[in-house]
Structure 1
Amino acid sequence: MKVSFFSRRAAKNAGWLVAGRILHMALAFLVNLLTARYLGPSNYGLVNYAALYTAFFTSFATLGLSSLLLKDFMDDPEGAGTTVGTAIAMRLLSSTLSAVTILAIVAVVDRGERLTMTVVALYSMSLIFQAFDTIQYWFQSRLESKYATIATSVGYIIVSFYKVLLLVLGKDVRWFAISNTIDYAVAAIVFLGLYKWRGGPRLHISPAKGRALLRQSGSFILCGLMVSVYNCTDRFMLKHLLDEASVGYYATATSLATVWTFVLSAIIDSITPGIMQAHRTDRAQFVRHNRQLYALVFYLSVAVSAVITLLARPAVSLLYGEAYLPAVMPMQVITWYTAFSYLGVARGAWVVCEGKQKYLTPLYIGSALVNVALNFLLIPCWGATGAAVASLLTQISTTFVFPLLLRPLRPNGLLMCQAILLRDVFPKRKKTDNSQRKAC
């Protein structure tokens, strides 16, 4: 059975994902722009400082299940109700523990900073409601991502109106901190409603299923924590080595440089089911589809990053004002991070299909250590730009250098290298013999 790299149904599914993320991007860009101007670099940096705690604990709160659920739904569609119910229950427990742990850490690290503690507490509550986005993987396995798009869009539209209202009323930073929680709470309600409306199987909680999922996700949890270390180290160190304003500049640079990456996410999410199907039916197609996905992600990222590098200064000046000009240089660096970061995301399908999850552990431990060391060295010298350089170098190491050093992951590293060199990426044309040509 031959599997299409991008079937018509997958293309339609991707269309919904892209449309939803365009809406999110447009709203987020406008609202965050107004919010950043209103709050100023320091308070905007404080909100992003709170966001880093949530981002750090997301890997534990999700229990690494996001990398497994899609394959589980495809392999065992009859047990979907048990899988969804069990996964939500597990994530509710881990999310609650994560939120409590965040409060304990902030009480020590930022002792005496009451505003910081309040903002972090309000923001971290969103982890609990994120448990219900488990349902999106059930929709994705059925190539029905439009329903997940509807759920997340409703939540984001409501929270966007909420933020605009705060701007009109002149509320302080604490009101903005709880907006993320409102977003996920609304999306959770819509997710549950659409799941029931689409005939989703009755939810069950199975301890046996929970243990089975945890056995498979153990490596992903640890790897996720290591990824969180090098994703959050920069903002954490900027805040404690410099100030909140530096966090604000870095957050501005990151948000502008990555505003378009919803396209990459939609492409990867839509192509992944086809790659997993090819793994079961046609090994050659599986290898080629991975190579094609890597090439598409890399060259699309490089093209967009080149444009962002050229337009960084006028974009920051026009959109955020002179106060945010220190974000220009970090933005010109961090944009090149995208190509390597999303190659790592695209690698997830290969890792799951080949059962190489456990080998990600040393990969990400090494990456986390490298990132911490680079941030310590570069932030005191170059500030937010140093953090951007540290992130870029770390991601290059994670995507190419370390996988080539680890024998079990070396085939994937070679696949990525072949994709960048465009080797065996395009379908080969079938040769026609002379007699056929003459007949034509």
Structure 2
Amino acid sequence: MYRKLASSTFLKNFSWLALGQIFYRVAYFVTIALLARIVPLNDYGLASYFLLYVGLWAPLFNFGLGIVGVREIAQGNISAEDFISKVISLKILVVVLAGVLLMVSGIFFEYSGDQLILLFCFSVYAILISLAEFFHIPFIGIEKMHITARLIIVERAVISILAILLLIVFSDIWGFAFGYILGGIISVIISYKVFRRAFSFSLRIDNSILKFFIRESWPVALNMFFSLSYNRIGVVFLENMKSRDVVAYYNSAFFVLFALQMGVSTLMQAIFPKLSRAQKNKNSIGKSAFKVFKIIFPILFLSTLILFYFSDSLILVFYGEELKSSIPILRVLIWVFPLFTISTFWANYFRAGGNQRLMAVISGSGMLFNIAGSVLLINAAGAVGLAKAYVISEFLIVIMCFLLFISHQRDREITFSVIAYLAIMFLIIGGSLFYSYIGLSLTVFCLITIGILVVISLIGIKNADVKFIKNLIV
């Protein structure tokens, strides 16, 4: 039985993707930590701010072509060769326009001098990485994710080594930025060479294919933009309303969260092709997916609780005493992790069924609330207020995803279960913010929460849909 599972496509894909994503997140996190230790705090705040600001525009560079491309290849609607050959012209146009819009936004926000040059450097890097990742899509679509993982490891190793090397040599943010650009150029070359070894390629223009991908991809891009903007737009407000040092504290906490999201993106990448085929075959998987969620839920919140407890150690070990003001920010921001995972789980479920427009509406609603919440809470509590706005916005996204799900299922038992799980999430996250006000110590609060999660876990496993899980991993 073990050998059968170990040889399954899902476990192979997940293992390889996990390895690639772990390496990517660790390399990125180490690079950022070294940047924080080598350059002055003000320069680190500037560089980390622009990294997150450029990240806000990532959906425009991608334009949703990754998700739609994987779905169409997995469903057999287009071959890997045809996807690259017929869509690459659209991809090049998209990344160039995104880069131009990014620079225009910098001029609009009145960045000048070194700020504008640094923004340009990170914009070039974003274009290069987006092009490199475009050549990963066919391998994900045909579930040859060991190739994707190897590409990620090699490319991120090159980028990190060059960024760290030039950072040490020049001891400033320019060495770091130029290392990223040089690493991006090499990444594009590597990805293209690996793709050409596996598939044939000849540039072709097919207007019907281009129109289809534009029609299907823009709602995904909009959804991704709204989802990513929660944190990025808040950082823009934080920099304008507070100071660059406060941005540095917030970003240090955020980069910990970013590193922890590796498991989410890895799991969803591995499952998405199978979900796409299941949705195409009109399989009724809604109830089974909810039962899988019941197992994921306690695992997510238990792991988050552990990270919540050791937030001070995480900050001090990786960043040192100078950034210890990031600790209370991380204690709030860490609760984005389980909420983000849950919303991503359901977002991929709906996208696989072609409901990307509804997800764009949901994400847009969350973004609007986040903008209003950020302005109000930054004034009241600074970076901690921004973190709270992020958590609240993600919680609202989860609520809206569940409302969409139960409207499709129309099942009374699922409706009551959804209400119960939302109430539990509210109590745990609310308790983490206010436990000291009711006289509880951190340890007592964590022990009480662990007891609640153990009970929920036993109930969830008892009602698990073993057959559905087996079909996903085999």
TM-score, normalization by structure 1:
0.87
1:291-310 equivalence runs, <5 A: 291-310=290-309
Q: Percent identity?
A: 18
Amino acid at match of 1:363: I
Separation of aligned partners in 2, 1:319 and 1:225: 29
Q: What secondary structure sits across from 2:47 in the alignment? A: helix
Contact 2:132 2:188 in 1 (8 A): yes
CA drift at 1:95: 1.3
Quickly say closer, same or farther: Cα 1:415–1:80, change in 2 above 3 A: farther
- Per the alignment, residue 250 of structure 1 pairs with 250
Separation of aligned partners in 2, 1:289 and 1:197: 39
Deviations 1:382-426 (A, max 9, x none): 111111100000001011146527986677995993995638434
1:207-246 equivalence runs, <5 A: 207-246=207-246
CA drift at 1:369: 1.0
Contact 1:351 1:357 in 2 (8 A): yes
CA drift at 1:315: 2.4
Deviations 1:24-43 (A, max 9, x none): 23322322211111124322
Deviations 1:83-133 (A, max 9, x none): 22333321221211121122222123134x412111111101123221331
Separation of aligned partners in 2, 1:31 and 1:178: 14
Quickly say closer, same or farther: Cα 1:106–1:313, change in 2 above 3 A: same
- Per the alignment, residue 444 of structure 2 pairs with none
- Per the alignment, residue 349 of structure 1 pairs with 348
Separation of aligned partners in 2, 1:268 and 1:410: 22
Please give the root-mean-square deviation of Cα atoms over the aligned residues, in Å: 2.9
CA drift at 1:333: 1.0
1:336-375 equivalence runs, <5 A: 336-375=335-374
- Per the alignment, residue 110 of structure 1 pairs with 110
Separation of aligned partners in 1, 2:12 and 2:29: 25
- Per the alignment, residue 390 of structure 1 pairs with 389
Quickly say closer, same or farther: Cα 1:8–1:304, change in 2 above 3 A: same
- Per the alignment, residue 79 of structure 1 pairs with 79
Which shows bigger deviation, 226-235 or 177-186?
A: 177-186
Contact 1:70 1:137 in 2 (8 A): yes
Quickly say closer, same or farther: Cα 1:189–1:299, change in 2 above 3 A: farther
Contact 2:272 2:352 in 1 (8 A): no
- Per the alignment, residue 30 of structure 2 pairs with 30
Quickly say closer, same or farther: Cα 1:381–1:409, change in 2 above 3 A: farther
Q: What secondary structure sits across from 2:259 in the alignment? A: coil
1:39-438 equivalence runs, <5 A: 39-76=39-76, 79-111=79-111, 113-129=112-128, 130-200=130-200, 202-281=202-281, 283-284=283-284, 286-401=285-400, 403-404=402-403, 417=418, 422=460, 424-427=463-466
TM-score, normalization by structure 2:
0.81
Quickly say closer, same or farther: Cα 1:352–1:338, change in 2 above 3 A: same
Give 5+ residue unaligned stretches, structure 1.
430-440
Quickly say closer, same or farther: Cα 1:42–1:160, change in 2 above 3 A: same
Amino acid at match of 2:67: S
Amino acid at match of 1:215: R
Separation of aligned partners in 1, 2:105 and 2:239: 15
Contact 1:6 1:274 in 2 (8 A): no
Separation of aligned partners in 1, 2:179 and 2:223: 29
